[in-house]
Amino acid sequence: MRAQGTLVVATRDRPALVERFLVPLAYTALERGWDVVVADQSRDGLTRALVEPVEGVRYLWVEPGLARARNAGSAAATTGVIGYCDDDVDVPPAWFDEVVRLFGQHPDAGALCGPVRTQAGERLPGVAPDVYRWPSHPFRLGTGANVTVRQAALDQVGGFDEDLGAGARFHAAEETDLLYRIQRAGWSIVYSEALEIVHYEERTLRDELRLHYRYGYGAGAQTAKHSAAEDGHALRFGGVEVAHHIGWLGRSLARGRLRAASHQLPFLAGFAAGFARRRLMRQTAGA
């Protein structure tokens, strides 16, 4: 029987998380009739030793770069549906069946997204459940920890931009850039509460500040990339995202939520830096 979908998970130098989360997740996916591809970028063989004994998992070693790893995993898939998640998430078994059901219910859907909660129960920023069509604001529409795409849509837009994402030039936004291009190509994007997963990640405040700078850096680069191609919507969405984080900063300060407020300044600084650098690259290339 042909698999209903392919789950692609990228990982790098995190064997403890692979053993705790990814290996059980692989067994769950296989039991639900899905293929599993692990795109490993580790410097040692510990992850490979954990994953290869799981019958049915396809192991790939890939050069560093999250978007590169996801593209390699996509290329190895032979199904019409490809899901992406991280190596430290808990995905309930019903998620796999719900993905298949939603794609069947929405034949024009190029991608599905869902909520992500932390292990403490806090929901990460997202959008309201709905069907989103062009031109919809791409930021917060989905996160790379919980995105599924239709292979036909992925082929049409050309996969992930390998200049974006962890380990690449612009650190982040590989998933929002992909979702932006998918909806611009005429596909809808479905955001469903039924696709909720849990993300187990523990960070210090310093880690969080660095991460939010990178989020902004990627978002700025994505905005510059599309606005430089005479896409006025991209510039508008970038402005809306900047305004959102300025407003978030003010509300957080007013409510005494200093940790949340501290995230906004690095995001805004990163956005400006990513936008400027991406524009400069284009100008240099055209010179």
Q: What is the pLDDT of residues 182-198, one digit of tens each?
A: 999 999 999 999 999 99
Whole-prediction pTM: 0.95
Which has more confidence, 207 or 201?
A: 207
Torsion of CA 4, 191, 72, 279, to 10 degrees: 160
Q: What is the DSSP letter of 22?
A: I
pLDDT of residue 202: 80
pLDDT of residue 285: 64
Q: What is the mean pLDDT of the chain?
A: 95
pLDDT of residue 269: 98
Residue 150 φ/ψ, nearest 5 degrees: -85, 135
Are the CB atoms for 37 and 8 separated by under 8 Å?
yes
* Mean pLDDT, residues 110-115 taken together: 98
Torsion of CA 203, 205, 207, 208, to 10 degrees: 90
Asked if the model's pLDDT at residue 24 lies above 80, the reply is: yes
Helix, strand or coil, per DSSP, at residue 188: strand
Asked if the model's pLDDT at residue 45 lies above 60, the reply is: yes
| 6: confidence class by pLDDT, cuts 50, 70, 90 | very high
* Mean pLDDT, residues 221-233 taken together: 92
Q: Which CATH number is correct for 6-199, 3.90.550.10, 3.40.350.10, 3.30.365.10, 3.40.50.1220?
A: 3.90.550.10
Are the CB atoms for 282 and 228 separated by under 8 Å?
yes
Q: Where exactly are the structural domains of the chain? A: 6-199, 205-286
pLDDT of residue 284: 72
Asked if the model's pLDDT at residue 287 lies above 70, the reply is: no
Asked if the model's pLDDT at residue 282 lies above 80, the reply is: no
Q: Which residues, 6 or more positions from 129, have their beta carbon under 8 angstroms from its beta carbon?
A: 191, 192, 193
pLDDT of residue 193: 97
| 201: confidence class by pLDDT, cuts 50, 70, 90 | confident
* Mean pLDDT, residues 250-274 taken together: 96
| 286: confidence class by pLDDT, cuts 50, 70, 90 | low
Which tokens belong to 129? Answer: 């459940």
Position 77: which residue type?
Answer: A
| 203: confidence class by pLDDT, cuts 50, 70, 90 | confident
* Mean pLDDT, residues 120-132 taken together: 92
Asked if the model's pLDDT at residue 228 lies above 90, the reply is: no
Asked if the model's pLDDT at residue 272 lies above 90, the reply is: yes
Are the CB atoms for 118 and 198 separated by under 8 Å?
yes
* Mean pLDDT, residues 261-268 taken together: 96
**Residue 282, burial from CB neighbour count under 10 angstroms (0-12, 13-18, 19+):** middle
| 1: confidence class by pLDDT, cuts 50, 70, 90 | low
Residue 199 φ/ψ, nearest 5 degrees: -110, 120
Q: Which residues pair with 190 in a beta bridge?
A: 112, 131
* Mean pLDDT, residues 157-170 taken together: 96
pLDDT, tens digit (0-9, with 9 covering 90-100), for 51-94:
999 999 999 999 999 999 999 999 999 999 999 999 999 999 99
Residue 208 φ/ψ, nearest 5 degrees: -65, -40
Residue 163 φ/ψ, nearest 5 degrees: -80, -15
Question: HSE (CB half, 13 Å, CA atoms) of 194?
Answer: 13
